[in-house]
Amino acid sequence: MFHHLSVDYRFENKIAVITLQRPQVRNALNAQLIQELTEVFTQLSVDEQLHGVILTGEGKAFCAGADINMMQEAISYTAAQNVEDALRLSDMLHAINTFPCPVIARVNGDTLGGGIGLIAVCDIVIAADNARMAFSEVKLGIAPAVISPYVLRKIGENMARVLFVTGERFSAARAHEIGLVHAVVPLEHLDDAVSRAVNELISGGPQAIRACKALALQVGQMNTENSRRYTAETIAHLRTSPEGQEGLRAFLEKRPPHFTVSSHGSKEK
């Protein structure tokens, strides 16, 4: 049982919706929520029926970064304890970043600090136009250290050198311009935009979707010979798989494909 988030299944259990449920503190991250996010993404990772996950927040904010009580506790931590604490956040981000199928961030409102880390590890980020963002850590005398590897891959060094050091607030529109957000829509159209993305996902084969995400994550970091072998083996495996055979036959026969897979993932709520 999760205390700070909920899990809901939609679209014939092909999509899981994870909602941060700490609206009274704008869904700020505390130790328990960080642990629960790590656990839920680990549990869902074995559900082969999933085509994707939606991550969102309850209330008016997506995620306001670190909880003030957690920051207060960190003041009394030793250096070693602070390293352990930071590694738990890193574990959470890694679990989401490497989740086998796409994660859609439904950014329903303000997103600060570690909250930007959350959207940086998502594959598709759709934000309401009223959302405001900031790497606010510098205003507290710290830095966006743990989230920086993921953020830099999205916005690059040039923008990080500005936004990290100033901690300035910026709009969802600017987040879109710098590559942090993929689409910005009015709040009242947010669910429609997310549904359109979901409909695209559920029209694809679940194993093909996983292979596509793995390609995006891994190929750019491989040398030429490894990428040649990996990509050739990937397409060969998909072409000979039941899913690939069905997809190709459906295309040639000019009919919708019928992708089926047995789900054996956890569905704890």
Spatial distance between the Cα atoms of 117 and 95, rounded to a whole number of angstroms: 12
Q: What is the structure's pLDDT at 266?
A: 41
Spatial distance between the Cα atoms of 224 and 265, rounded to a whole number of angstroms: 36
- Asked if 201 and 170 touch (Cβ cutoff 8 Å), the reply is no
Lowest mean per-residue pLDDT among 14-28, 116-130, 242-256: 242-256
pTM here? 0.94
**Structure token digits, residue 262:** 């047995």
Higher pLDDT, 6 or 68: 6
Q: What is the structure's pLDDT at 238?
A: 96
Strands (E), the chain: 5-10, 15-20, 52-57, 61-63, 103-107, 110-112, 124-128, 132-134, 170-171, 183-185
- Asked if 136 and 88 touch (Cβ cutoff 8 Å), the reply is no
Spatial distance between the Cα atoms of 14 and 54, rounded to a whole number of angstroms: 11
pLDDT band at 255 (very low <50, low <70, confident <90, very high): very high
pLDDT band at 103 (very low <50, low <70, confident <90, very high): very high
Q: What is the structure's pLDDT at 250?
A: 93
In this predicted model, what pLDDT tens digit does every residue of 177-212 receive, in sequence order?
Answer: 999 999 999 999 999 999 999 999 999 999 999 999
pLDDT band at 69 (very low <50, low <70, confident <90, very high): confident
